[in-house]
Amino acid sequence: MKLLFLGDVMGRAGRAAIVSRLAGLRSSLGADFVVVNAENATSGVGLSPGHAEAILSAGADVITLGDHAFDQKDMLQFIERETRILRPLNFAKAAPGSGARVYATASGRKVLVAQVLGQVFMKRPFDDPFSAIDGVLKAQRLGAGVQAAIVDMHCEATSEKMAMGHWCDGRASMVVGSHTHVPTADATILAEGTAYQTDAGMCGDYDSVIGMEKGEPMRRFITGMSKGRFTPATGDATLCGLFVETDDKTGKATAVRMIREGGRLSPSA
Ligand SMILES: [Fe+2]
Ligand SMILES: [Fe+2]
């Protein structure tokens, strides 16, 4: 199976790139299943139902969220109706929606998608992501109940993401990081067959500070004072993510490739 994961869609620039270019990228890769992280798609904070529908219509099979899952309040109700959107497994206990689900591809193959939040350097304390994902991977065995499994590890620390990759190794087709908005150059297949990248990077304008217009974040770093709000940068976005090919019998990865397309980042080969 061919799986594509795209990192955090950032504001209008990220949405515009998804709407205008995801279908072409999907068909040029021959992707069977596409997951897009969209926790920052609406003004950089959260995801509105309308923007979720636009991203799904553009070619995403599933949307994952993150620590910004419910920054747009309408998502609290919408996620109960739209099963193609996942919030983190280990979000607040009372949160609506689900953190893991099994989906079917057009050809009927089953794909598990799950998202967990890390604990290191995050603004709020979340439950242990390692035990949370363990239960899901034990219930949905790769190569048995599901033909592929995609885990989105949403957090700051590279160390915590790498540990999650190894924790899921051989039990997921792909473990990919999101949240930092900068792609790491470490796409690999781990020892037991799980494709891994510490962070997919964002789908956004890289002439920015992690997707925001440079002025205000620079002012806060340089002067220690804020003058205005953060607003997403509006230049042409780079689509960033990870493309993985799997063996349908085992669900393990046979090939992995980083994707960087359009915008200011150097393109992937
Ligand atoms: Fe993000
Ligand atoms: Fe995040």
What integer pLDDT is reported at residue 1 of this predicted model?
Answer: 98
- Is 181 labeled as catalytic in the residue annotation? no
The alpha carbon of 170 and the centre of ligand 2 are apart by a number of angstroms equal to: 26
What are the distances in angstroms from CA 178 to CA 1, 28, 67, 146? 22, 24, 11, 23
Q: Note the pTM of the prediction, 2 decimals.
A: 0.98
Which ligand has the shortest distance to the CA of 202? 1
What integer pLDDT is reported at residue 98 of this predicted model?
Answer: 98
Q: 247-263 pLDDT, tens per residue?
A: 999 999 999 999 999 99
- How far apart are alpha carbons 164 and 135 in whole angstroms? 14
What integer pLDDT is reported at residue 65 of this predicted model?
Answer: 98
Q: 33-91 pLDDT, tens per residue?
A: 999 999 999 999 999 999 999 999 999 999 999 999 999 999 999 999 999 999 999 99
Residue from 51, 68, 154, 179 carrying the catalytic annotation: 68
Which H or E element spans position 240? strand 239-246
The alpha carbon of 1 and the centre of ligand 2 are apart by a number of angstroms equal to: 28
- How far apart are alpha carbons 259 and 72 in whole angstroms? 29
Low-confidence stretches of the chain (pLDDT < 70) are none
Provide the sign of the torsion angle of the four alpha carbons 22, 26, 32, 36, taken in this order. Answer: negative
The alpha carbon of 150 and the centre of ligand 2 are apart by a number of angstroms equal to: 18
What integer pLDDT is reported at residue 119 of this predicted model?
Answer: 96
- How far apart are alpha carbons 175 and 188 in whole angstroms? 10
What integer pLDDT is reported at residue 36 of this predicted model?
Answer: 99
What integer pLDDT is reported at residue 70 of this predicted model?
Answer: 97
The alpha carbon of 65 and the centre of ligand 2 are apart by a number of angstroms equal to: 8
The alpha carbon of 107 and the centre of ligand 2 are apart by a number of angstroms equal to: 32
The alpha carbon of 246 and the centre of ligand 1 are apart by a number of angstroms equal to: 27
What integer pLDDT is reported at residue 123 of this predicted model?
Answer: 87
The alpha carbon of 203 and the centre of ligand 2 are apart by a number of angstroms equal to: 13
What are the distances in angstroms from CA 170 to CA 104, 235, 265? 21, 39, 32
Which ligand has the shortest distance to the CA of 210? 1
- Determine what percent of the chain is predicted with pLDDT higher than 70: 100
DSSP classification of residue 137: H
Place of tokens 């964002």: 202
Which ligand has the shortest distance to the CA of 44? 1
